[in-house]
């Protein structure tokens, strides 16, 4: 199996001012080609270290991909390191990239500076991967070392991402790769250790060529990833399908999807199939539930709107809540959550509405309603259902889990009511 | 200067299903101690690789911190690797951690399983860092290698974060560390290359011991970080203050804060000082602006609520917009943005309101209003101001930049109007 190494360059990563999201993206893309990322290394904007590291990595790995270190400002020195490594003393202007740079500057109303122009300078021995989203070109060195294909990509995520199709194409045309078959099953609502206990017996029955991994994520739930490396492709697919089918039998409704499915995507599929619309009323989640739902392109066909009713007055003014309900039961209560859902359904004129009201923390908790308490309700035609959960986390984590919990409750409710209708 | 290496363990990072946010957090904490992270390495859940990598890293770096590889499920093998490396053949139960595990299981209503109990097993030679937020204990090996302090931390971010104060304390009491002085100035609204041009002359005047870095972030803007390593502390602080003061003179209103300041925090400070309240009306940003504003603990004192008016009907129903305005000018227009802000100010009964309406993409663009177009308005007592900007990005990026642009416009507007009032 072909192994690869990703090397991110930039002091900003080492001092912790930037989180490296590029490596995860590149890993997923390489995985699709049957290339295994064996290591990810982050180094600083240091000439010697870049030279040394690239020398070592290109000796060891058949594919090396760097990101970062190509920006217009003075802290970027990767190109000079490359120049030293390749032994090519000459740089040349790439006219296609220069065209993009001129275009970007003119669209932004910026005068073309020398710094901008220099971005189009590349070592002569490389193949340029023209960056149409930004000013720094990607570079491919086929003959950098006899052992390795070397790619240099810009550090800005969406620029790097736009170049990955070229990278994949160049790898496939230059290397013989072996396959990996993954299948990922996505679950929500059961903790990792309980899931492990539920699956203990089944896991022991897995043949040795199948590997199972638990991938917990507070927003998505726990993904169960089955992997088979190498072997006959058809047999591997059959094997992985057989065992994933068994998972459905064991876990039932805990499973909500596969691969890149998220709660919001699954909900949208259900609503689109039924031709139904949705609205949101949220308090403690502060817009997060609406924000998650609208992250899906095309969501305007389903999602009509949301009310972020942070204050009690806004719950009354926007959603028409009865002030007596808030006085009698408090804003974090079954009654308030249900009235919020009913109110949102009415004012946004939708088929379904979901509401969430709770205590995200760090302040506002009481012995009866501690930090982490969330009431969720779903209203539909002629019904409203609600649920309380208590989480233990900080404000940020609680907001994420509250939102996911609300979406999961909506998923399960929709499933039940849609099955009753049909 | 003491150097450190962070090693993240877990296949989930190498196959790209998890983004490593831990390293950035740990780097920032080590930085505060004057420790420089020289390298970050990610490896898989592979016994041999863990053993080899830890052997190499603890030879090379005075401080090595690992995260991950300590979960309850079968893909975690770090502890066994440690057992092999330390040569200690014995594991023992840590009773304090076991107590936490029992407590967590009972609070979650889960029966204590063997998997849970095993989490409290640790090599005898380590100092346990009791994890009160989760089941996997942290571990500290002082005598693991003669060159290095080795820390093993759990991979779940908020569990790891809760143990970092202990880690810092143990490092300080075991090592002599040298200082780094950083000062970060935060800017918004000017592209990196233009900023570099503006600062070119000033940058050339910097003494050699000061390093300047540009750290762009679509949500926050561009942070300018000045650093001085080593030297006399007082002199370094004086030097860095002198040069950062010069930056204020050159950049003026482009600068909105320092260190960890964000647009939302700066806005909250201004509003709290004035005793004023805020509401939001947003369309294309889908709840993101409200979500950012409510990420601040205590925001309920200022932020009264937000309307996510995704459909035209909801703009009319919730904010009371005149349907003729939408028909005549379209939902993405100066007129609609201004009416939205005025409507939000009225229905939420706040001193100020901000609105955003635009085309996030990938669909919905027209030649006059291409994808990336955003109209923003701010309404206050007796005034409403608005602004159009066009960005070039994908849906996710546009949503982030729209939101930040809106907050920055609010910041500048507040600054102007508050200065008029006083």
> For residue B16, which residues of chain A lie inside 8 Å, CB to CB?
23-29, 31, 37
Query: Do the Cβ atoms of A191 and B37 come within 8 Å?
Result: no
A72 in B contact zone (CB under 8 Å): yes
A36/B14 Cβ within 8 A: yes
Interface check A205 vs B, CB under 8 A: no
**Which of A353, A196, B74, A247 is closest to A256 using CA atoms?**
A247
Q: Which residues in chain A have Cβ-Cβ distances shorter than 8 Å to B361?
A: 297
Best probe of the B interface among A44, A131, A182, A294, by most B CBs < 10 A, is A294
Query: Using CB atoms and an 8 Å cut-off, which of residues 330-349 of chain B contact chain A?
Result: 347-349
Give contacts of A 46-65 with B, CB under 8 A: 49
Q: How far is B152 from chain A (nearest CA, A)?
A: 19
The confidence band for A77, taking pLDDT boundaries of 50, 70 and 90, is: confident
Shortest CA distance to A7 belongs to which of A72, A74, A85? Answer: A85
Å from B92 to nearest chain A CA?
A: 21
A37·B25 Cβ contact <8 A: no
State yes or no: pLDDT of A89 exceeds 80.
no
Buried b vs exposed e over B376-402: b needs ≥16 C-beta within 10 Å?
bbbbbeeebbbbebebbbbbebbbbbb
Q: Is A260 on the interface with B (CB under 8 A)?
A: no
Cβ atoms within 10 Å, residue A216: 18
| pLDDT for the residue B90 | 84
Top mean-pLDDT range of A142-146, A218-222, B185-189? B185-189
Categorize the per-residue pLDDT at A178 as very low, low, confident or very high, splitting at 50, 70 and 90.
low
| Closest-approach residue (CA) in chain A for B396 | A295
Predicted pLDDT of residue A14: 92
Residue A23 has pLDDT above 90, yes or no: yes
Cα nearest neighbour of A18 on chain B: B24
B370 Cβ under 8 Å from any chain A Cβ: no
Whether the predicted pLDDT of A69 surpasses 90: no
A147 to chain B, minimum CA–CA distance in Å?
21
Q: Domain B263-421 adopts which CATH fold?
A: Maf protein (3.90.950)
> Mind listing the pLDDT tens digit for each residue in A277-296?
999 999 999 999 999 999 99
Closest residue to A288, CB basis, from B72, B214, B291: B291
Cβ–Cβ pairs < 8 A, chains A and B = 316
User: pLDDT 10s per residue in chain B (422 long)?
Assistant: 789 999 999 888 998 888 999 999 999 899 878 798 999 999 998 889 999 999 999 999 999 999 998 877 655 688 888 888 887 768 899 999 999 999 888 877 778 888 888 899 998 889 999 999 888 999 999 877 777 999 999 998 989 999 999 999 999 889 876 677 889 999 999 988 889 999 999 999 999 889 888 887 888 999 998 988 778 889 999 999 999 999 999 999 999 999 889 999 999 999 999 999 999 999 999 999 999 999 998 888 899 999 999 999 999 999 999 999 999 999 999 999 999 999 999 999 999 999 999 999 888 889 889 999 999 999 999 999 999 999 877 888 899 999 999 999 999 999 998 888 77
Residue A278 Cα, gap to closest chain B Cα (Å): 11
Would an 8 Å CB–CB cutoff place A115 in contact with chain B? yes
Average pLDDT over chain A, rounded to whole? Answer: 91
Same fold, B3-174 and B263-421: no
The pLDDT value recorded for residue B75 is 54
Smallest Cβ distance to A37: which of B14, B291, B310? B14
Distance CA B392, CA B109 (A): 49
Q: Where are the domains of chain A?
A: 3-174, 180-258, 263-421
Please judge whether A23 and B27 are an interchain contact, meaning their C-beta atoms are less than 8 angstroms apart. no
Reported CATH class of domain B3-174 = alpha beta
- Judging contacts by C-beta atoms under 8 Å, the chain B residues touching residue A347 are 314, 317-318
> A-chain residues within 8 Å CB-CB of B308?
280, 287, 290, 294, 305-308
% of chain A residues with pLDDT over 70: 98
Instruction: Select the more confidently predicted residue: A131 or A79.
Output: A131
pLDDT (0 to 100) of residue B363: 87
Do B287 and B308 touch, CB atoms closer than 8 A? yes
A161-170, A177-186, B240-249: which range is least confident on average? A177-186
- What is the fold of A180-258? Alpha-Beta Plaits (3.30.70)
Test A113 with B214 for CB contact under 8 angstroms.
no
CB pair distance less than 8 Å for B214 and A71: yes
Q: Does B317 touch chain A (CB under 8 A)?
A: yes
Residue A112 in contact with partner chain B when CB distance is under 8 A: no
Residue of chain A nearest B389, judged by CA positions: A108
pLDDT exceeds 90 at position A139: yes
């Amino acid at each position: 199996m072909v192994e690869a190494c990703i090397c991110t360059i930039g002091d900003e990563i080492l001092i912790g001012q930037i989180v490296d999201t590029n490596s995860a993206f590149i890993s997923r893309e390489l995985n699709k080609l049957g290339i295994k990322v064996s290591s990810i290394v982050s180094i600083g904007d240091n000439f010697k270290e870049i030279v040394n590291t690239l020398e070592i990595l290109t000796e060891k790995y058949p594919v090396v991909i760097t990101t970062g270190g190509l920006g217009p400002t003075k802290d970027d020195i990767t190109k000079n390191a490359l120049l030293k490594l390749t032994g090519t003393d000459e740089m040349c202007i790439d006219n296609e990239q220069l065209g993009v740079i001129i275009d970007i500057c003119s669209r932004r109303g910026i005068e073309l500076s020398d710094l901008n122009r220099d971005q189009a300078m590349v070592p002569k021995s490389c193949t340029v991967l023209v960056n149409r989203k930004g000013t720094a070109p990607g570079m491919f060195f086929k003959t950098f070392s006899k052992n390795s294909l070397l790619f240099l990509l810009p550090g800005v995520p969406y620029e790097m991402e736009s170049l990955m199709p070229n990278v994949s194409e160049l790898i496939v045309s230059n290397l013989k790769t072996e396959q990996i078959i993954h299948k990922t099953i996505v679950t929500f609502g059961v903790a990792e250790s309980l899931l492990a206990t539920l699956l203990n017996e089944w896991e022991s029955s897995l043949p040795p060529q199948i590997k199972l991994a638990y991938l917990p994520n507070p927003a998505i739930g726990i993904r169960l990833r089955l992997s088979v490396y190498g072997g006959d492709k058809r047999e591997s697919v059959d094997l992985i399908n057989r065992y994933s089918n068994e998972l459905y039998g064991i876990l039932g409704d805990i499973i909500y999807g596969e691969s890149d499915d998220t709660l919001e995507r699954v909900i949208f599929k259900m609503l689109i199939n039924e031709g139904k619309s949705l609205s949101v009323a949220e308090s403690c989640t502060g817009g997060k539930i609406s924000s998650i739902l609208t992250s899906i392109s095309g969501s305007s066909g389903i999602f009509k709107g949301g009310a972020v009713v942070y204050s009690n007055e806004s719950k009354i003014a926007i959603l028409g809540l009865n002030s007596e309900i808030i006085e009698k039961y408090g804003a974090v209560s079954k009654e308030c959550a249900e009235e919020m859902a009913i109110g949102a359904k009415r004012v946004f004129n939708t088929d379904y509405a979901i509401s969430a009201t709770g205590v995200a923390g760090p302040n506002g908790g009481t012995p009866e309603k501690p930090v982490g308490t969330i009431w969720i309700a779903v209203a539909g035609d002629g019904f409203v259902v609600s649920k309380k959960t208590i989480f233990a986390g900080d404000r940020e984590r609680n907001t994420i889990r509250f939102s996911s919990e609300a979406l999961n409750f909506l998923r399960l409710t929709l499933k039940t009511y849609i099955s009753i209708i049909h």
